[in-house]
Amino acid sequence: MAITERRMIYKHVDEEGYSNDIDCYIKNGGYEVLKKAVQAKPEDLRQEVLDSGIRGRGGAGFPTGMKWKFLDFKSGKPIYLVCNADESEPGTYKDRQIIYQDPHQLVEGMMISAFAIGAKCAFIYIRGEFINGARILEKAIEDARAKNLLGEDILGSGYSCDLIVHRGGGAYICGEETGLIESLEGKRGYPRIKPPYFPAALGLYMCPTIVNNVETLCWVKHIIEIGGKEFANIGVKGDSGTHIIGVSGLVQKPGYFEIEAGAHTLGEVLYDGCGGPLPGRKFKAVIPGGLSMKILKWGERWKGKHPNTGEDYDWGVEDIPLDSVSMGLTGSALSTGGAMIMDDSTDMLEAMANINAFYAHESCGQCTPCREGSLWMHKLSKRMTDGQAREEDVPLLLDIADQIAGRTICAHGEAAAWPVQSAVPKFKDEYLDKIKKQANGERYNPVGYPLI
């Protein structure tokens, strides 16, 4: 059985004959929503977004309309809109497809959003390494400006807003909302403490600022087109719209699927969409939403009452519906939808060591637990894979993660800790087994694919 996609954001992604050219976009109905939007009242547009119940697609899943509501409109300071196109979470690659293949969708979404929140200047903060992406966006902006779709007096509405592409510092932390703002201001990418630096009040240049993800800003266009209340009917209660599930790792056909929230289960996507495990292999684990999310183990089960439907559920990994509410019930999160799959050839110690190495490298070093803890976890797990571990290192590794999570300035602490906090208890036997064998003189010989 094939899975049923509902492509909205990815409508034109991979479409034959479709290009990222502005004429192609306009021919397909592009910028019509912007024309309509600039004639509307900004507060009505904001209400539509609030009514839609859309959640941010950058990972944390905070309701977008609510975020906009927090904006300090009374300060008298300029309001900024910033698009977070840093996309540096391993396993996540959904925004890149939009930028490369359909950049005008983002430009239109941003101009509608900017008009709705009253921003006179908007930025796209793109990861420094995405050189082509930045060039594509710059061209798109240039073309849109030539057609008066942005810049001065947009479409004769009297509203003016400029859009600027800013190539980022190339650090994972520059994708964090406030770290991004610091970087955009030309400083080192260090996250700010909240409180008091809630971007909606004290953001870019200490002015009210909205930072939204690429996909989120694209959604604004669709919400205004369909209408907020109508839009809320797509998906499930508490998570409207679709989700782009980008599957990578050990499946037969990795790739991305845009499905209505909750319309398919993880199992359906992995088996029907991706062709299941590689020949002769079995699934072992999945990280459902980008590297920082908690790992799920095949064979785990979750039982309870669904908060939205009230129905009893008893799920294995395959049964989890792909919406953020359901995925939240497993203790993990759908987040960016970047699902990373491991099969029985994956050495968990190797995979986790790899993850720890990544977070140790990407910790900005601002606050103590993440700075010191992530490197400690990296050194310790490297020692494990080098065959030098002791049994007490397993609970120690977990304890270090416990000391990081929830005690740092930004969510990088959680990002570094959650994989360990979930993997160590779930694969404790594998850890201990390997260590015992090493202690008995058995050579440590990992097989299969290391992750990332």
Partner 1 sequence: MADSETNLVTINIDGVEHSVPGGMNLVDACESVGVEVPHYCYHPKLSVAGNCRMCLVEMGMPMRDRATGEPVLDDDGVQKIGWMPKPAIACASKTMPGLHIKTKSDLTKECREGVMEFLLVNHPLDCPICDQAGECRLQEFATDYGRGFSRFVEEKNVKPKRTVLGPRVTLDDERCILCSRCVRFCEEIDENPVLGFTERGSYNTLTCFPGTQLDSNYSLNTVDICPVGALTSTDFRFKMRVWFLKPTPSICTESSVGVNTEVWSREGVIYRVTPRRNDSVNDTWMADTGRALYHQVEAKSRMKSFRVDGNKASLGEAIQRVRELMTVGPIAYVGSGQMSVEDQWMLRKLVETEPGPIHFVYHQGEGDGRLISKDKTPNLRGGLLTGLIKDLPDAHLHALRDQLEKGEIKTIVAFGEDLVKAGIAPELLKKANVIYFGDQRNDTTDFVKVLLPTLTVFERSGSFINQQFRLQKFAQCVPGPAGLMPTTALISRLIGEIKGESSLPPSNPQLWRDMAVAIEQFAGIEFAKIPATGLELDSSAFAQLHFVEEKGWHYEPVAEPAGAESSHH
* HEC letters along 163-200: EEEEECCCCHHHHCHHHHHHHHCCCCCCCCCCCCCCCC
Say how far residue 406 (Cα) sits from the centre of its chain. Answer: 20
Please state, as a whole number, how many other Cβ atoms lie within 10 Å of the Cβ of residue 94: 24
SS3 220: helix
Least gap, CB of 388 to partner 1 (angstroms): 10
Least gap, CB of 124 to partner 1 (angstroms): 24
Least gap, CB of 295 to partner 1 (angstroms): 22
Least gap, CB of 369 to partner 1 (angstroms): 6
Q: Are 221 and 36 in contact (CB under 8 A)?
A: no
Q: State the burial class of residue 54 (Cβ atoms within 10 Å of its Cβ: 0-12, 13-18, 19+).
A: buried
Residue closer to partner 1 by CB (options 36, 194) is 194
Residue closer to partner 1 by CB (options 136, 171) is 171
Least gap, CB of 332 to partner 1 (angstroms): 18
Spatial separation of the C-alpha atoms in residues 338 and 271, rounded to whole Å: 16
Residue closer to partner 1 by CB (options 104, 192) is 192
Phi-psi domain of 250 (left: phi exceeds 0; alpha: psi -120 through 50; beta: other): beta
φ, ψ at 251 (rounded to 5°) = -130, 170
Residue closer to partner 1 by CB (options 326, 381) is 381
- Rg for the chain, CA atoms, rounded: 22
The residues with which 281 forms a beta bridge, in sequence order, are none
Two structure tokens written together for 422: 């979930």
Residue closer to partner 1 by CB (options 300, 372) is 372
Give Cα separations from 404 to 78, 366, 373, 375, 441 (angstroms).
36, 13, 7, 11, 33
Applying CB under 8 A, the residues found at the interface with partner 1 are: 171, 188, 193, 195-196, 360-369, 371-376, 379-380, 383, 396, 403, 406-409
End-to-end, the C-alpha distance of the chain in Å comes to: 30
Residue closer to partner 1 by CB (options 117, 377) is 377
* CA 442, 444, 445, 447 torsion-angle sign: positive
Spatial separation of the C-alpha atoms in residues 62 and 324, rounded to whole Å: 11
Residue closer to partner 1 by CB (options 104, 371) is 371
Residue closer to partner 1 by CB (options 269, 360) is 360
Least gap, CB of 370 to partner 1 (angstroms): 8
Least gap, CB of 398 to partner 1 (angstroms): 12
Spatial separation of the C-alpha atoms in residues 152 and 140, rounded to whole Å: 16
Least gap, CB of 399 to partner 1 (angstroms): 8
Least gap, CB of 193 to partner 1 (angstroms): 4
Residue closer to partner 1 by CB (options 307, 406) is 406
